[in-house]
Amino acid sequence: MKTILTGDRPTGNLHLGHYFGSLKTRVELQKEYETYIEIADVQALTDNFHDPEKVRKNVRELAIDYLSCGIDPKTTSTYVQSQIPEIAELTIFFSNLVTVSRLMRNPTTKAELAQKKGLFGQNGESITYGFLGYPVSQAADIAVFNADLVPVGEDQIPHIEQTREIVRKFNTIYGDTFREPEAYLSQSKRVKGLDGNEKMGKSLGNAIYLKDDLETISKKIKNAVTDPQKIKKDDPANPEVCMVYYYHQLIQNDQLETVCKECKAGSRGCVACKQELIQKMMEFLKPIQEKRAYYEAHPEEVERVLKEGTRKAKEKAQNTMRKVKEQMKIDYHYIKEGNDE
Ligand code: TRP
Ligand code: SF4
């Protein structure tokens, strides 16, 4: 059985961009692959080091989002990154195999630096060692499970490429140890924001969250961007440029053809069209939100899932590190593993 490793930073709740961008695929793939999902709290701290409370709170929130969407603890191990120190250890070993200039060229890191000027300075002059190096730690995340496949959104491709380079180098120097992982992109890829922005994002304020209630969703959809040419209720319009239509499509409204036809004919007003989307959106989210309510009422079950997932992940990581240390000729055993003495 092949192995999947993927993960998210616990910095907020998941939205439709995450759902269609990768979560849905993960739920489908977990049946055929040995699956590990990382709640990347150590990575989250690289740009939230000043706010540990936020990261801690979101570890549980993220776990609940996963379970609500159908991540199955029977087939998938969901674990908390900080609880597997083997990852940190491998990060140190990997850090010899990548140059600082290569890390500076990583396009995702560059884009994030531009967004985080408050934290890392106008031109990134205050960038920390930890933030610059987080792709190395991500390479360790993936390699410690010897993952074949990494289902992620498009923005993560540079990190997977970086991982491949690092493990290739490791294998060349220390002997064949790791597989070169591949990114797995789901078909729907990037989900646009309610404002028409190419990307739905937390920081962009244009997202629908999986846990949003009726009131929140109504407010957001009422503000969504429609065809600007349509002024009056019975003006014909072009659904292709309308975000409301885009979301009707995304959640597969079974009346999609009617929406399209009526919009083009001018026999559908935007207010009614949005109302219909609000209702369909709530229907779409209902099973997810019902599960969330269950897990919110049973926090001990969430804890159990994380505990068991972390235990399994740790076992696998320890096995890999034994091999890594042999390959690197640092397999001393001055201190016995475990505490059974
Ligand atoms: N960098 C990813 C994100 O921001 C999260 C992540 C951490 C991840 N470790 C990973 C993704 C390993 C895939 C594999 O979304
Ligand atoms: Fe968009 Fe619907 Fe208005 Fe057409 S009728 S422009 S699809 S909101």
Residue nearest to atom 8 of ligand 2 (CA): 270
Ligand nearest to the CA of 271: 2
> In this structure, are 164 and 185 located in the same domain?
yes
Distance from the alpha carbon of residue 74 to the mean position of ligand 1, in angstroms: 22
> In this structure, are 32 and 87 located in the same domain?
yes
> In this structure, are 254 and 314 located in the same domain?
no
Does residue 30 belong to any structural domain of this protein? yes
Task: Say if ligand 1 is within 6 A of residue 38 CB.
Answer: yes
Task: Say if ligand 2 is within 6 A of residue 276 CB.
Answer: no
Distance from the alpha carbon of residue 207 to the mean position of ligand 2, in angstroms: 19
Mutate to test the pocket of ligand 2, among 223, 225, 227 (most ligand atoms within 8 A of CB): 227
Distance from the alpha carbon of residue 22 to the mean position of ligand 1, in angstroms: 11
Q: 3-class SS at 7?
A: strand
> In this structure, are 138 and 229 located in the same domain?
no
> In this structure, are 122 and 48 located in the same domain?
yes
> In this structure, are 38 and 158 located in the same domain?
yes
Does residue 83 belong to any structural domain of this protein? yes
Domain count, the chain: 2
**What pLDDT does residue 188 have?**
59
pTM: 0.93
Question: Per-residue pLDDT tens for 154-166?
Answer: 889 999 999 999 9
DSSP E strand boundaries for 62-177: 76-80, 149-151
Distance from the alpha carbon of residue 260 to the mean position of ligand 1, in angstroms: 37
**What pLDDT does residue 338 have?**
62
Whichever domain contains 17, its CATH number is: 3.40.50.620
- pLDDT beneath 70: ranges in the chain: 187-189, 337-341
Task: Say if ligand 2 is within 6 A of residue 124 CB.
Answer: no
Does residue 334 belong to any structural domain of this protein? no
Distance (Å, whole) CA 145 – CA 323: 12
Does residue 208 belong to any structural domain of this protein? no
Q: Tell me, what DSSP letter sits at residue 155?
A: G
The sign one gets for the Cα dihedral 255, 257, 261, 266 is positive
Domain of residue 123 covers 3-191+299-327
Does residue 336 belong to any structural domain of this protein? no
Question: Per-residue pLDDT tens for 170-207?
Answer: 999 999 999 999 999 876 568 999 999 988 988 788 99
Token pair recorded at residue 245: 């239509």
Does residue 337 belong to any structural domain of this protein? no
